[in-house]
Amino acid sequence: MTIGWAGRGGRRALTIFGLTLLVALGPFVLLAAAPVGAAAEVCFPEANGKCIGGRFLEYWQANGGLAQQGYPITDVFMEVNQADGKSYQTQYFERARFELHPENAAPYDVLLGLLGREQLMVKYPDGAPAGVPAETGCTDTGIPGTKCINRRFGQYFLGNGGVAQHGYAITDAFNEVSPTNGQTYLVQYFERARFEYHPENADIRYQILLGLLGREQYLAKDPAELRFVNSYSDDFGDTTRWPTFQEEQRSASYKDGRYVLTAAGSTLKKIGIDNPVSRPGVPLPGGGFRALPDMRLGVRATPLSAGGSAYGLSCRTQGSGARYVGVVYMLFAQAGPSYAARIRKYNSTEGFEQLVERQLPAGVVALNQTATLQFTCAGPNLTLAVNGTIVARAQDYSLVDGGFGLEATHVTSGGGAGAASPLAVAYDDLTVDSWR
């Protein structure tokens, strides 16, 4: 039996589409109200309060603003530039990385990082895929030294900064699965950008969009470097938050200040903080729910019975039950108990897909032994840690955002002492951190 998930339900496509339109329309709304030089700093509540100031703000406003650069996703910090090995003041935006080069006179004191080239080398170390034959045809830019700019992208390139903003084209146009939403688009990489063709947008002005290279690049860093802020916590002292029930093969109850799940057999049960109005998400202090794209979950878990079990956490839970699952797996077989860490993906059509499994040494988890589990879902990176040590890593980005949940699965395969016993696991000190 699987017990799992909590969250917010049914608006993802609308939310993503709404964000796309907001990005596309941003400069017409924001820049008209905030001309260049009008403010020393501009902050965005919708971007976790991140702000832009000084020369970065001036450059952002003068070079496409929200539509081309996106929201700021970090504060300003010092970072080593891969190109020359030197440290510069840096700020990441959804679509770009700004670098301050005081050795250059304005306007060349603010330069954009070579995110397109850096991403391309990581994704395709043996070279980019071949161009799509049906998508041949070049735009005559009159610019020497650049590859053919696909006919679909040429007008956008010339009208939105050209080489100074995007750099030279470094690939042909080819089809690529988007790490943002898992859909396939025609793309072309430039030194500083990835152009994407979105024919699903009826308005031709929004059919060419820039990929979220800044966000992807920053999230590709080790999750330990990411900056999280607590969005939700639960010591299970309030016994009204999570559902309780007693059935023949499963139960959920509060006991001694902990939330206890029991399971036997193989039936499925969803459990969590349900929001009946929309899709799974994180409860907000003022009421309502918010789906999170990037989250770090933590909980103290104690197995109370010897039943074969998998227990842990789930992230990006959907109304359909789809989710990522990070669990500790204990199997009691004839040869003795074995222990593993698993990261899996679930959807209602195909069931569970194993993304990674790593064996754990005996003693890391044990009956009546409390372990601190941490499951981080940041961009395509999924990591599971036990007692502060990362034990499993995987990558997948078919689920973009959602809620969170607790997992408990009774494992009946393998035989041996304890395999048929019900699973009971107690949870305490749950935390949900969102990335800022």
Residues 120, 197, single domain; the answer is: yes
Residues 159, 205, single domain; the answer is: yes
Q: How many residues does the chain have?
A: 436
pLDDT, residue 374, reads 93
Would 107 be classed as within a structural domain? no
pLDDT, residue 266, reads 47
Residues 378, 244, single domain; the answer is: yes
What are the φ/ψ torsions at residue 155 (nearest 5 degrees)? -65, -40
pLDDT in tens, 229-288: 777 888 988 888 787 888 877 888 899 999 988 877 644 344 444 443 334 555 655 555
Residues 211, 234, single domain; the answer is: no
pLDDT, residue 26, reads 29
Q: Among 178, 200, 221, where does a domain finish? A: 221
Residues 153, 262, single domain; the answer is: no
Residues 233, 205, single domain; the answer is: no
* Alpha carbon separation from 97 to 12, 55, 111, 191 (Å, rounded): 27, 14, 8, 12
pLDDT, residue 250, reads 80
Would 182 be classed as within a structural domain? yes
Mean pLDDT throughout 371-397?
88
* Alpha carbon separation from 213 to 178, 216, 276 (Å, rounded): 11, 5, 35
Q: Among 182, 205, 221, where does a domain finish? A: 221
- Lowest average pLDDT, out of 97-106, 168-177, 261-270, goes to 261-270
**Number of structural domains found in the chain:** 2
Mean pLDDT throughout 362-389?
84
| Short-list 217, 243, 420, 216, CA closest to 331 | 420
Residue 368 belongs to what domain range?
2-10+227-435
Residues 206, 141, single domain; the answer is: yes
Would 395 be classed as within a structural domain? yes
* Alpha carbon separation from 128 to 136, 162, 175, 218 (Å, rounded): 16, 22, 11, 22
Q: Among 191, 206, 221, where does a domain finish? A: 221
Would 400 be classed as within a structural domain? yes
pLDDT in tens, 194-209: 999 999 888 888 899 9
Residues 200, 269, single domain; the answer is: no
Would 32 be classed as within a structural domain? no
Residues 242, 303, single domain; the answer is: yes
Mean pLDDT throughout 97-107?
93
Would 386 be classed as within a structural domain? yes
At 416, is the pLDDT very low, low, confident or very high (cuts 50, 70, 90)?
A: very low
Residues 141, 283, single domain; the answer is: no
Residues 234, 340, single domain; the answer is: yes
CATH number at residue 260: 2.60.120.560
Torsion of CA 361, 365, 367, 370, to 10 degrees: 160
Residues 249, 354, single domain; the answer is: yes
Mean pLDDT throughout 139-167?
84
| Short-list 349, 351, 273, 345, CA closest to 316 | 345
Would 232 be classed as within a structural domain? yes
- Lowest average pLDDT, out of 153-167, 300-314, 345-359, goes to 300-314
pLDDT, residue 90, reads 94
Would 51 be classed as within a structural domain? no
